[in-house]
Structure 1
Amino acid sequence: MKLTVWGAAQQVTGSMHLLETVNYNILIDCGLDYEKDTWLEENEQFPFLPSEIDVVILTHAHIDHSGNLPTLVRHGFDGQILCTPPTADLTELLLLDSVNIFLNKQRKARKSKRGFNSGPKPLYLQKHVMETVDRFVTIGFNKPFAITGNISLSFVPVGHLLGAAAAVFTVNENGSIKTVAFSGDLGRKNYPVLNDPEALPQVDYLVCESTYGGRWHKATKSVEELLTETVNEACIKSPGRLIIPAFSVGRTQALVYSLNRIFTKGLLPRVKVFVDSPMATYATDIFRKHHPLLNQEAQDFYKKQGDEFEFENLEYIQDMNASKAISNYYEPCIIISSAGMLEGGRIQDHLYYNISNYYCTILFIGYCAKGTLGNRLLRGDPIVNIRHRELSVYATIKQTDLFSGHGDHNDLMNFVKHQQPSSLKKVFLVHGEISSMESFRQSLHEEGYSAEIAVKGETYLLD
């Protein structure tokens, strides 16, 4: 059996791993790689023949794990894509959104260059997404699935996102039984709505993400305590507005549920809440559809109070006219809108009208990459460009990592430490910056594990 890491090797995006057994090729994840300026061109080509891949295993819906599946299909892959039911639904939603992003980039480029053929060609179109979705075969958690007579697969819940799973393979190769697991992205304990990550069974090899290697979440307050304090300062003590940029899938649902709990407990007077993201509305319906997979706290809340994602004074905004009308709402309010890094989307309209407002607070609940508007605000730039206009920053800027869906260094270590060092032959580290990987590897070595930072394109023999 052979393992080749073709993506998320010493970087975070573009997860793609090839597991080769006797006469059978398994691709684990097929995500978009955003690391280079030429990322569209980079994602167009594969280092193997897509037609020679027998099956794809998708650990979860995020675009850095799922986003290049339609390209794979377009280039000749005609096998099944195995994933959990929520992952199938969320992936369809995110892939269709990717098409819109591609087309918007092309339209903007054509407009600026005044040429019909100018601009980046979309990686794929809606028809390719639908061809991809047709290949989904869904499998429940912890239910062994026979891929072939010699290969079985189990999905183990890992938190992080609704439906996210580690993929555990049992392979009978020439009479020898081997087990190999791929962590996908690991969540953290006590995250709103989601279950805690589960321990894996003992395996021979583990391919593990390392996003937060060497980093720890600052957990001096709970999610509810932080939100209560922030809403109180921004909307109650002073009649202002709180703007929270949040990714539509996962973060928004965690936010809405947490606010629901705060208002239901009477910790604060009810404040008007706008969720201004059509995709967040669709994603929330998917969370409702798969309600039995939410954590016990959410299940109990539902039995006593009803829908976790619906409450008095909450309004989901769909059309653009309703979105623009929010700027004329002069009472204290909370606005939750995508995108999390402020690069496009309706959130830029809200910032345009509020960034110079002394009575506005902007709370960042996610990572903002260098070069983004979100990053410029977090580093304290006094003037920023929004909608081609230079605006002074008078709004209060805050940040928290309590809504991060990734487990930190301790969570990663605890995940691996369920394995016996004497039985786990090797841990391959992927999906992280090199400094995070080095820190994680060092900690694993100190605990007696054999760990290696995977190199892109290098093939490892799994004896």
Structure 2
Amino acid sequence: MKLTIYGAARQVTGSMHLLQVGQYKILIDCGLDYEKEHNIHINEDFGFRPEEIDVVILTHAHIDHSGNLPTLVRMGFNGQILCTPPTADLTELLLMDSVSIFLQKAQKGNRHRRKHKHSAGGPQPLYLQKHVMDTVERFVTIGFNKPFKITGDIELTFIPAGHLLGAASVVLKVNDEGTEKTVAFTGDIGRKNYPVLNDPQPLPPVDYIVSEATYGGRFHTKDKTVQQTLEEIIDKVCVKEQGRLIIPAFSIGRTQSLVFVLNKIFSSGALPPVKVFVDSPMASMATSIYRKHHNQVNPEAQEFYNTQGDEFEFDNLTYVETLKDSRQVSNYYEPCIIISSAGMLEGGRIQDHLFYNIQNYYCTILFIGYCAKGTLGYRLLRGDPIVHIKDRDLAVYATIKQTDVLSAHGDHEDLLNNIKVQDPAKLRAVYLVHGEMSSMQELSNSLETGGYKAIIPEKGVSYEL
């Protein structure tokens, strides 16, 4: 049995891991590599032949785990894609949105070439809607904690991982030439007591773990709850300063958790009413999927629904649908909260809100998630005094803030605890992926101190298990 890390090796995005059992090839995740954003077609270089992959297992819907699936299908993959039911529904939304972003960038590039009288044609989108539909047709859904036979020698079980509705860790029980071996792929590990989502479930005993390391060496703020943190920021920005708070948030996952917390704040009377705009059609569609799979939200959200009604609806909350209505939000001069995607500011309506507010001294932009290197969000958090938005260089006068209380990733302690349930004498190795090199090294050091063998794989290097 052989493991090869083809994505998220010593970086955060582009998760893609190949497990080969004899001649049978299993791909775990097939994510888009954001750190190659300058040339998305580098994502076509898989490092293996797509038609040789027998099956894909998808841990969750986020684009850095699912976003290259249509490319895989377009280039010859012809097998099934196994995932949980919420993951199938949410992934379809995200992949369709990716097509829109690709097309917008291609059109922008064409306009630039015409303006500068370049005759050469620009790069085409990585994939189109028909490739997404071909991909969606391959989804086969499996519930949590229900062993599923992929072949006579390979059994799959999805373990709840928190992080996002439907997110799973993958446990594969393999008969490798008469020897039983168990390999776990954590996907992205969530946090305990996260709004809307259930807590991650511990992994069963395994022989090998491929673990994410996003927050290795970093610890989340624990002195305040999500609600307390948001109450303080909203009180300062919207109540005392009468300004506007812009929150870039992923339409799927982060927005639903954020809306639920705002619902609790305003329905309890903890703060005076403030207008809230959720400006993302995809967020509205994702919220419908959360309602569809309401049996998988956490007990707190279910109890709120049973006693107070829909956790994703409240007075003064408006889901903005049309582009015309989105533009009208800029003409709303009362204090307000604008939640819009994308979370890393790469595309989406959030760029319009930034364009009109980045030079507004009474605006605060609050980041509630990770921003990968090379993204506009990363540049703002880095403190760049001037940023390029919608073909213009704009000075940054708005206040830039960040909080990790709504990060859906477990921190260093959470990652360690996810592995420490394993007996170090029986767990043969932990392979660290999906993290910056410094984060992986910190987590590796802590694991080795605890008696575990930790490996930080290089991209494309194979390991015999």
Q: 1:136 to 1:268 in 2, by over 3 A?
A: same
- Which residue of structure 2 lines up, in the alignment, with residue 326 of structure 1? 329
CA displacement at 1:59 relative to structure 2 = 0.5
Instruction: Tell me if structure 2 keeps the 8 A contact 1:32–1:68.
Output: yes
CA displacement at 1:449 relative to structure 2 = 0.7
- Which residue of structure 1 lines up, in the alignment, with residue 49 of structure 2? 49
Matched, 1:64 2:67: no
CA distance in 1, matches of 2:185, 2:345: 32
Matched, 1:294 2:294: no
Matched, 1:261 2:269: no
Instruction: Tell me if structure 1 keeps the 8 A contact 2:101–2:347.
Output: no
CA distance in 1, matches of 2:342, 2:444: 33
Q: Which moved more, 1:191-200 or 1:343-352?
A: 343-352
CA distance in 1, matches of 2:430, 2:386: 46
Q: Secondary structure at the match of 2:305?
A: helix
- Given residue 291 of structure 1, which amino acid in structure 2 is its aligned partner? H
Q: Secondary structure at the match of 2:151?
A: coil
- Given residue 164 of structure 1, which amino acid in structure 2 is its aligned partner? A
Instruction: Tell me if structure 2 keeps the 8 A contact 1:82–1:138.
Output: yes
Deviations 1:316-335 (A, max 9, x none): 00111111111222222111
CA distance in 2, matches of 1:382, 1:27: 42
Q: Secondary structure at the match of 1:185?
A: coil
- Given residue 145 of structure 1, which amino acid in structure 2 is its aligned partner? F
CA displacement at 1:157 relative to structure 2 = 0.6
CA displacement at 1:372 relative to structure 2 = 4.0
Matched, 1:411 2:414: yes
- Given residue 17 of structure 1, which amino acid in structure 2 is its aligned partner? H
- Given residue 238 of structure 1, which amino acid in structure 2 is its aligned partner? E
CA displacement at 1:368 relative to structure 2 = 3.1
Instruction: Tell me if structure 1 keeps the 8 A contact 2:280–2:320.
Output: yes
Q: 1:373 to 1:204 in 2, by over 3 A?
A: closer
CA displacement at 1:228 relative to structure 2 = 0.7
CA displacement at 1:432 relative to structure 2 = 1.2
- Given residue 264 of structure 1, which amino acid in structure 2 is its aligned partner? S
Identify unmatched segments of 5+ residues in structure 1.
none
- Which residue of structure 2 lines up, in the alignment, with residue 179 of structure 1? 182
- Given residue 356 of structure 1, which amino acid in structure 2 is its aligned partner? Q
Match of 1:198 among 197, 201, 204: 201
CA distance in 1, matches of 2:464, 2:386: 53
CA displacement at 1:23 relative to structure 2 = 3.3
- Given residue 19 of structure 1, which amino acid in structure 2 is its aligned partner? L
Give the alignment of 1:271-290 within 5 angstroms: 271-290=274-293
**After the TM superposition, which segments of 4 or more aligned residues of structure 1 sit over 6 Å from their partners?**
none
CA distance in 1, matches of 2:169, 2:203: 8
CA distance in 1, matches of 2:449, 2:374: 36
Matched, 1:29 2:29: yes
Matched, 1:351 2:337: no
- Given residue 12 of structure 1, which amino acid in structure 2 is its aligned partner? V
Give the alignment of 1:420-431 within 5 angstroms: 420-431=423-434
Deviations 1:404-461 (A, max 9, x none): 1111110000000010101111111111111111111111111011111112222211
- Which residue of structure 2 lines up, in the alignment, with residue 92 of structure 1? 92
Q: 1:171 to 1:382 in 2, by over 3 A?
A: closer
CA distance in 2, matches of 1:436, 1:116: 45
Match of 1:456 among 448, 455, 459: 459
Instruction: Tell me if structure 2 keeps the 8 A contact 1:109–1:118.
Output: no
Q: Secondary structure at the match of 2:377?
A: helix
Instruction: Tell me if structure 2 keeps the 8 A contact 1:444–1:450.
Output: yes
CA distance in 1, matches of 2:460, 2:56: 18
CA distance in 1, matches of 2:180, 2:392: 63
Match of 1:311 among 291, 314, 326: 314
Identify unmatched segments of 5+ residues in structure 2.
none
- Which residue of structure 1 lines up, in the alignment, with residue 16 of structure 2? 16
Q: Secondary structure at the match of 1:35?
A: helix
Identity of aligned residues (%): 69
Deviations 1:45-71 (A, max 9, x none): 222222221111001111111111111
CA distance in 2, matches of 1:321, 1:41: 33
Q: 1:378 to 1:16 in 2, by over 3 A?
A: closer
Match of 1:208 among 183, 208, 211: 211
CA distance in 1, matches of 2:42, 2:313: 42
CA displacement at 1:148 relative to structure 2 = 1.2
CA displacement at 1:110 relative to structure 2 = 0.8
Deviations 1:252-273 (A, max 9, x none): 1111000001112111122111
Q: 1:207 to 1:282 in 2, by over 3 A?
A: same
CA distance in 1, matches of 2:357, 2:11: 35
Matched, 1:397 2:400: yes
- Which residue of structure 2 lines up, in the alignment, with residue 240 of structure 1? 243
Instruction: Tell me if structure 2 keeps the 8 A contact 1:214–1:436.
Output: yes
TM-score if structure 1 supplies the norm length?
Answer: 0.96
CA distance in 1, matches of 2:389, 2:72: 36
Give the alignment of 1:423-442 within 5 angstroms: 423-442=426-445
Deviations 1:8-59 (A, max 9, x none): 1111111111111133211111111232366423211222222221111001
CA displacement at 1:200 relative to structure 2 = 0.5
Instruction: Tell me if structure 2 keeps the 8 A contact 1:105–1:119.
Output: no
CA displacement at 1:340 relative to structure 2 = 2.0
CA displacement at 1:355 relative to structure 2 = 2.8
Matched, 1:387 2:390: yes
Give the alignment of 1:51-130 within 5 angstroms: 51-114=51-114, 118-130=121-133
